[in-house]
Amino acid sequence: MTKNSDCKKFYVIGLNYKKADVVTRSNFSLSKEKQKELLEEAKRINIKSVVILSTCNRIEIIGFAKHPFQLISLLCKYSKGTMEEFAKVSYVYKNSEASEHIIRIATGIDSQILGDYEIVGQLKEAFYLAKEAGTVNAYLERLFNVSLAASKETKNKTSISSGTTTVSYAAVKYIKDNFSKKDPKKILVYGLGDIGQNTAKSCAEYLNAHSLTLVNRTEEKAIKIANEINAEMAAHKDLGTKIKESDIVIVATGASTPTVTADMIHKKKEQLIIDLSIPRNADPVINDSDNISMIDVDVLSKKTKETIEERKKQIPLVEDIIQKHKSEFYEWLNFRRSTPAINSLKKSLELIQKDAITSHSKKYQDINSQLVEDVTSQMINKIVSKFAMHLKAENTQANRSIKVMNDVFNLEPSEN
C-alpha cells in the first residue's frame, strides 16, 4: 500500500490583511535571512517540504507536517509574533482546501486589492527560495506550476486586473492619459509619505519622459528617494519657486492645514494641481484661478471604486478558471498516488493469469496457450484501465479505493 509522507498532511498556516492589522503582520513578518534559517530548521526536524510566503499583506507557511502546530511553532520562533497573537487572527487550511487557497492567491482574487498581481512575483520568489533550500517536493512543484498557469489564464482571459485601484496610480494615469510624451512637463511631488513615495515611484516608472522633482520637509528623505528613482531633489525653502516653475504639482503632505497656497501658484501659466492629501493640503481657493485645474483625492477615489466594481463582475470567470486548474491538479495527484497501486494490481492479475493458464494447460493438452494468454491479457488491461480512470477522477477517495484493492488483491507495498 502507498505510504503517505509518514502520515503527514498538507497545510497552509498564516494570517493576512483580512483579520490582522499592519502591526500584527509586521510582528510575524520574516526577513530573507530568517526565512532561510526557518527552512534549514524545518529540514532538521523532518519537515522536508515547505515554502514561506512573507509579504506586507500576508505571512504563510505552506508545507507538509504531522500537525499544523509544527509549522506555527516555526513561524513564532523566527518572527516576533506569539502563539496567542497568532490564534486570534490566523487561519489553517488542510489538504485540498490548502491547495485551492494557493491557486486562489495566484489569480489575484484573494488580494487586498482585487485583481492585484503583485503576489505572483512574491509567490515565485518564495518558491525559488525554498527550491534553493531543498524544501520543495513534487507536490509543491506541481501545485505552484498549476497556480501560475491559473494566474496566466486569468490575466489573458479576464479583465480583473484592468483599470486603476490606488489613488497614487490613478493620479499618474491621469497625467499619462492627458499629457503626451511629445510635450514633456515639469512635475513636482511635494510630500514623501507612503502615498507620496508610491506616486513619485510611479511617475518615474511610467512618466520617464517628463522632468520629476521631489520636495519634502525632511530633505534627507527626499535625497534618498530621488537617488533611488533618478529624480531631482529641491530644498523645502525653495518650494514656492519650484511650484511656480512646475506644470504639474502633486501634493501628498500630511498637514492639518493647506501647505500649498494661492501665492505659490503661477499667475498666468496653466498648471495642474493634484491633491492626494486628506485633509486637502492645496488651498481650495487656488481652483478659482482660470489657469489652474485642480483634482482632489475624492475624484481619483471615485475612479478606483468604479474599477473595483468592474473587477467584481469578473469574479465568476476567475472562479471557473480556479476550478479548472484545481481539477487538473487533483487529476495529476490522484494519478500519482494510484500509479504504484495500479502497477501492483496488474502484477497480481498477471500472476492469477499465469497460474490459471498453467493449471488448464495440464488438463487440456490441445489448448492454445498463446490465444488464451492474448485474450486474458486484453481483459487484464481493460480491468486495470477501468481502475486507473476511477482513481484519477477528482471526486474519488483514492486512498479508500486503494485500500479496497489491497484487501481484495493483497497488493505489494510500494513507495511514493
Mean pLDDT on 7-12 = 90
Of 114, 130, 160, the last residue of a domain is: 160
Residue 333 lies in a domain: no
Q: Which pLDDT does position 415 carry in this prediction?
A: 38
Q: Name the residues annotated as catalytic.
A: 56
Residue 42 lies in a domain: yes
Distance of CA 350 to the CA centre of its chain: 48
Mean pLDDT on 340-352 = 81
Query: Are 104 and 130 in the same domain?
Result: yes
Query: Are 135 and 9 in the same domain?
Result: yes
Q: Which pLDDT does position 5 carry in this prediction?
A: 43
Q: Which pLDDT does position 7 carry in this prediction?
A: 65
Query: Are 285 and 342 in the same domain?
Result: no
Tell me which range, 250-259, 290-299, 311-320, 360-369, is most confidently predicted by mean pLDDT.
311-320
Give the span between the Cα atoms of 115 and 72, in whole angstroms.
29
Q: Which pLDDT does position 344 carry in this prediction?
A: 80
**DSSP code per residue over 271-330:** EEEEE--SS--B-GGGGGSTTEEEEEHHHHHHHHHHHHHHHHTTHHHHHHHHHHHHHHHH
Residue 319 lies in a domain: no
Residue 311 lies in a domain: no
Residue 404 lies in a domain: yes
Query: Are 148 and 265 in the same domain?
Result: no
Q: Could you read off the pLDDT of 34-90 as tens digits, one per residue?
A: 999 999 999 999 999 999 999 888 999 999 999 999 999 999 999 999 999 999 999
Residue 383: partners with Cβ closer than 8 Å, 6 or more residues away: 349
**Per-residue pLDDT for 414 more than 70?**
no
**Per-residue pLDDT for 3 more than 50?**
no
Query: Are 177 and 286 in the same domain?
Result: yes
What pTM was estimated for this model as a whole? 0.68
Q: Which pLDDT does position 394 carry in this prediction?
A: 54
Query: Are 136 and 267 in the same domain?
Result: no
Query: Are 105 and 195 in the same domain?
Result: no
Q: Which pLDDT does position 93 carry in this prediction?
A: 98
Query: Are 279 and 390 in the same domain?
Result: no
Residue 107 sits in which domain range?
A: 5-160
Q: Which pLDDT does position 396 carry in this prediction?
A: 59
Q: Which pLDDT does position 361 carry in this prediction?
A: 77
Q: Which pLDDT does position 398 carry in this prediction?
A: 66
Query: Are 231 and 275 in the same domain?
Result: yes
Residue 401 lies in a domain: yes
Query: Residue for cell digits 466594481?
Result: 309
Of 160, 186, 219, the last residue of a domain is: 160
Of 129, 160, 191, the last residue of a domain is: 160
Residue 393: pLDDT band by 50, 70, 90 thresholds?
low
Q: Could you read off the pLDDT of 356-381 as tens digits, one per residue?
A: 888 877 777 777 878 888 888 898 88
Q: Which pLDDT does position 150 carry in this prediction?
A: 97
Query: What stretch of H or E contains 333?
Result: helix 315-363
- Rounded to the nearest integer, the mean pLDDT of the chain is 88
Q: Strand 9-16 and strand 58-65: pairing?
A: antiparallel
Query: Are 150 and 13 in the same domain?
Result: yes
Query: Are 156 and 172 in the same domain?
Result: no
**Per-residue pLDDT for 16 more than 70?**
yes
Mean pLDDT on 343-349 = 82
CATH number at residue 217: 3.40.50.720
**Per-residue pLDDT for 413 more than 70?**
no
Distances (CA, A) of 277 to 193, 235, 259: 10, 20, 10
Q: Which pLDDT does position 4 carry in this prediction?
A: 42
- Name the DSSP letter for residue 108: T
Count: domains in the chain: 3
CATH number at residue 110: 3.30.460.30
Q: Which pLDDT does position 407 carry in this prediction?
A: 73
Cell, residue 391: 482513481
Q: Could you read off the pLDDT of 255-272 as tens digits, one per residue?
A: 888 999 999 999 888 999
Q: Could you read off the pLDDT of 209-234 as tens digits, one per residue?
A: 789 999 999 999 999 999 999 999 99
Residue 392: pLDDT band by 50, 70, 90 thresholds?
low
Report yes or no: 343 and 381 within 8 Å, Cβ to Cβ. Answer: no
Q: Which pLDDT does position 24 carry in this prediction?
A: 92
Residue 306 lies in a domain: no
Residue 280 lies in a domain: yes
Query: Are 182 and 151 in the same domain?
Result: no
196 compared with 167, residue with greater pLDDT = 196
Out of 151-160, 256-265, 341-350, 398-407, least confident range: 398-407
